[in-house]
Amino acid sequence: MSVEQELADYLNQSGFQRFVQAWIRQYQRLGHLGGKIVLENLTDDEKQCLGGLGWDLSQNRLELTYAQFLKKLKKTRYGEADFLKTLEILNQSLIYSRKEIKELKILAFDEFKENLFHIFQDTKSYAWLKTYLSTDRYVKRYFEQNQHMFQSVLENVCRALNQLPVYQLSFELLPVFSQNITKNPHYFDEDLPRELLLKGIVYDLYHEDMSLDSFKMIDVLYSAGILKDDLSNYCYICHIQPQKAYPSWQGFYEAYEPWNMNLYNINVMKDLFIPLDIFIFENPSVFRMMCNFIKHHKMDVGLVCSNGQINFCTYLLLDKLVDSGCSLYYAGDYDPEGLVIAEKLKQRYQDLHLFCYSVSLFEKIKIKQIDISSKRLQMLNQIKTDNLKIIAQAIQQEQAFGYQEGLIDVYQRELKKMKII
């Protein structure tokens, strides 16, 4: 048995525990054994152990320099012991200074990166991986929190980026895609895997960085050929028909029947639409009344209902309608939410017509509000389009809103003027 082991056996008592830990901390702080340790409020057990070495413990404390300790140690049977090795035996592992620990962390992190670069160096994901690991401020935190988990996430994300459905000119549902990559259909529902997948897609397909709100997330996934959900994301349409006859579309088109068109419907339809004037209404009740109206008069116009906030399916439909040569008209409520929707559509589709928006119509349908929250009023600051801005000012001055159900007769009259009946 080595002298270090013998000393370790002697010090392996509860009364020496704080004594040993104090010297370990000294080494970690200084990078060598030295300086001074102070132990306050000694227990009876500690007094018995430390007092046996002949130190003054009368103040219920121990203050000891390493030089003093080493001098005392040299006079014992353990005098030839390497005290650092003894501490490592007691610690059951090597002891490193803070500087050494920092250097080892840097080395481990560099090895971690190089290993991943080696795995993916000849793949589509390599450029993103190298940029991400070199620039993202949270990388080291994830690495230090759980290196194994972080490496697993990065490997799965890189495999996903290398196999995006868009590279095969196809679409795949997110749970199916996730199952194929990771054997877990919900893997990319988790925060970090989802975030890194989106960042990777943006880097690979858009070659930029961007903040991702809920709509942009769906938009980014779609650009990669991944559908988060192609059935529950839908909008209402009436009398809209692809140029190529699709029986499922044609029946509703000819009968002027409204139906819920979802992402699946629009994705399987690869053709352009018949170019028509398309009227978009915010509220389902108004949309339903206008469906009856154009059906009764056999008007060759199409209708869309955004059902409040514009979802991804609606945007995708409107994009394809514009590409098909259709003209867009939008009509919504005269309240902060309605004006913001109109503003967003106008910014996205520069040629969109704002249908039946005027201060005189606002006066016709306005309803005084007892109390309007400051949050809702602040939404009006987003309005940049001139005629919408005038209405926003009227809402603020009148402290009133107007709802489009009160304009159904106006919509019908205006349609008659535009489409000779």
Q: What is the pLDDT of residues 289-299, one digit of tens each?
A: 999 999 999 99
Last residue of a domain, one of 32, 62, 95: 95
CA distance 319 to 280: 13
Q: What is the pLDDT of residue 50?
A: 85
Q: CB–CB of 174/188 below 8 Å?
A: yes
Q: What is the pLDDT of residue 342?
A: 95
% of the chain at pLDDT higher than 90: 57
Looking at the structure, tell me whether residues 279 and 244 fall in a common domain.
Answer: yes
Last residue of a domain, one of 78, 95, 112: 95
For the chain, helix (H) and strand (E) counts, in that order, are 21, 12
Looking at the structure, tell me whether residues 50 and 71 fall in a common domain.
Answer: yes
Q: What is the pLDDT of residue 347?
A: 94
Last residue of a domain, one of 196, 211, 227: 227
Buried/exposed code over 218-236 (b: 16+ C-beta within 10 A; e: otherwise) = bebbbebbbbbbbeebbbb
Given pLDDT bands bounded at 50, 70 and 90, which one contains residue 97?
Answer: confident
Look-up of token digits 């002697």: 10
Q: What is the pLDDT of residue 294?
A: 96
The separation between the first and the last C-alpha atoms of the chain, rounded to the nearest angstrom, is 108
Given pLDDT bands bounded at 50, 70 and 90, which one contains residue 213?
Answer: low
Looking at the structure, tell me whether residues 220 and 239 fall in a common domain.
Answer: no
Given pLDDT bands bounded at 50, 70 and 90, which one contains residue 210?
Answer: low
Residue 340, pLDDT above cutoff 60: yes
Looking at the structure, tell me whether residues 88 and 107 fall in a common domain.
Answer: no
CA distance 98 to 31: 7
Residue 33, number of CB atoms within 10 A of its CB? 17
Mean pLDDT, residues 273-299: 96
Looking at the structure, tell me whether residues 132 and 267 fall in a common domain.
Answer: no
CA distance 131 to 127: 6
Residue 216, number of CB atoms within 10 A of its CB? 14
Looking at the structure, tell me whether residues 113 and 85 fall in a common domain.
Answer: no
Residue 390, pLDDT above cutoff 60: yes
Given pLDDT bands bounded at 50, 70 and 90, which one contains residue 125?
Answer: very high
Residue 404, pLDDT above cutoff 80: yes
| Domain total of the chain | 3
Token output for 235: 């909008």
Looking at the structure, tell me whether residues 407 and 318 fall in a common domain.
Answer: yes
Residue 314, pLDDT above cutoff 90: yes
Of 370 and 285, the one with more pLDDT: 285
Most confident stretch, 27-36, 40-49, 302-311, 405-414: 405-414
Residue 121, pLDDT above cutoff 80: yes
% of the chain at pLDDT higher than 70: 97
Looking at the structure, tell me whether residues 185 and 291 fall in a common domain.
Answer: no
Looking at the structure, tell me whether residues 255 and 343 fall in a common domain.
Answer: yes
Q: What is the pLDDT of residue 209?
A: 61
Given pLDDT bands bounded at 50, 70 and 90, which one contains residue 208?
Answer: low
Given pLDDT bands bounded at 50, 70 and 90, which one contains residue 329?
Answer: very high
Domain that holds residue 51: 3-95
Looking at the structure, tell me whether residues 390 and 279 fall in a common domain.
Answer: yes
Looking at the structure, tell me whether residues 297 and 396 fall in a common domain.
Answer: yes
Residue 421, pLDDT above cutoff 80: no
Looking at residue 401, which CATH number applies to its domain? 3.40.1360.10
Q: CB–CB of 295/258 below 8 Å?
A: no
Looking at the structure, tell me whether residues 289 and 179 fall in a common domain.
Answer: no
Mean pLDDT, residues 267-273: 89
Residue 147, pLDDT above cutoff 90: yes
Task: Tell me which of 1-5, 288-292, 316-320, 407-411 is least confident.
Answer: 1-5
CA distance 11 to 26: 17
Given pLDDT bands bounded at 50, 70 and 90, which one contains residue 354?
Answer: very high
